[in-house]
Amino acid sequence: MKYFKSKILGLAFIATSLLSVLNANAQQAKLITVKSVKSFEMTVEGIKKGVADAGMMVLAEINHGKILSMTGLTINAESIFIGNPNVGKDAFSDNMAVGLAIPLRINVYEEKRVTYINYFAPSSELGYFKGDKVKMIGQELDKKISMLTGMFER
Amino acid sequence: MNIQKLEILLTFILLLLSAISPNLFVIAQAGIAQLSSLAFKFLIPSVTLIFIIILILKIFKYTELVRLTVTGIIAGLIATVALEIFRESGFRLGTMPGELPRLMGVLLLNQFSSGPDALSDAAGWVYHFWNGAAFGIIFSLLFGQSKAWQGILFGLLIGIGFMMSPVVKSLGIGLFGFEFKNGYEFATTVTLAHVAYGFALSFLLRRFNKRIPNIWLRLKPSLLNNYI
């Protein structure tokens, strides 16, 4: 009896550990990288224009290239923060902590003359936060961003 | 208020106003306030007041004080060129972590996220050179016809003050820039640049401020007369 008890306890421990590992993996934000067929400048401009069609707006921009030029580094890289105040209202109403994940950040950079767009899938980032509405918004934003960045793959 | 008292008062006001500009960048980098708002609240008013006081001094014929202030501005501006020879060379050789005048520009215009452009660069350089002029006024008012060692010491003190300030801390290179590269490049460049500034300042003011003694010798008779 004692033998079985310790066996069951051992199995339960392994199962709990496995579950926590799986859970941690599931909680990791999913990084998506898209190779753009357009130049860096055209990709940045295209995203800014395409954001309106996706029902969002550019809320802020960080021009890494220009900022880093102050340190003597010459690169092409820019982050664009996009969002929609109404969607934000829904998300924040559901969970006040979502400000960490929204507005969404799309990063455009050039490496060896090839332009890339990368971002964390909104559903994976918003997945960290409790709230059904938040999760639903994440999934909707996944589609919107995928459509937006997909324009540059063709 | 008699003329002597007014001269003492205006001298101290000029010293105080000149000290405002260089300290704003430090205050901003300490996270106390944004440089853009400090510029509107303190920088522009302090610069304007300095020129108004020069005008008042000219009207009331305080020729010596006018001369000290104006020569301080001119010498400070020229001495900043001497500083720039070392600073800019240092930046291009990789002994400085960044272009501070450009950083000042984006902070002044509150456009860090979009990065520097022609306007922010212009603002940053003007601010940088004005700081040189402001230190020039302070040095000229304090020392009059200065000596080389006074200039070198003055430059060294500014350099040390800068390397201990929140500006350097905010660059993420530690006190005196010891955490940057091998630990000595930044401190060497900054020290050389500020010694060059101080030396150039004293060299010029030795010629511009001929026969004008230091502040103590100038104001002592007035101070003693008022005291007695």
Contacts of A61 in chain B (CB under 8 A): 113-114
Count Cα neighbours of B121 within 13 Å in the Cβ-side half-sphere.
9
Helices (H), chain A: 2-27, 40-53, 64-69, 85-94, 122-126, 132-150
| C-alpha distance from A51 to closest chain B C-alpha (Å) | 19
Q: What is the pLDDT of residues B137-185, one digit of tens each?
A: 999 999 999 999 999 999 999 999 999 999 998 989 999 999 999 999 9
Amino acid (one-letter) located at A105: R
Instruction: Give the pLDDT confidence score for residue A8 in this predicted structure.
Output: 61
DSSP reduced 3-state for A39: coil
A79: nearest CA partner in chain B: B113
Residue type, A56: M
In angstroms, the CA B50 to CA A98 distance is 49
Report yes or no: B99 at the A interface, CB cutoff 8 Å.
yes
pLDDT by residue (tens digit) across B107-126? Answer: 999 999 999 999 999 999 99
Whole-angstrom distance, CA of residue B127 vs CA of residue B121: 10
Do the bridges between strand A114-120 and strand A57-63 make them parallel or antiparallel, or are there none, so unpaired? unpaired
pTM here?
Answer: 0.84
* Residues B198, B209: Cα–Cα separation, whole Å: 15
**Which chain A residues are closer than 8 Å to B91 by Cβ?**
72
Q: Does the structure show a pLDDT above 90 at A4?
A: no
Cis link prior to B166 (omega < 30° from 0)? no
Asked if A61 lies within 8 A of B114 by C-beta distance, the reply is yes
Taking CB atoms and an 8 Å cutoff, what residues of chain B touch A72?
Answer: 91-92, 94, 98-99
User: ipTM score here?
Assistant: 0.79
Give the residue-averaged pLDDT of A87-94: 95
- Place A24 in a pLDDT band, splitting at 50, 70 and 90: very low
Residue A21's pLDDT is: 47
Q: Is B98–A72 a contact, with Cβ atoms under 8 angstroms apart? A: yes
| Widest pairwise Cα distance in chain A | 72
Quickly list H helices, A76-131: 85-94, 122-126
Q: Is B102 on the interface with A (CB under 8 A)?
A: yes
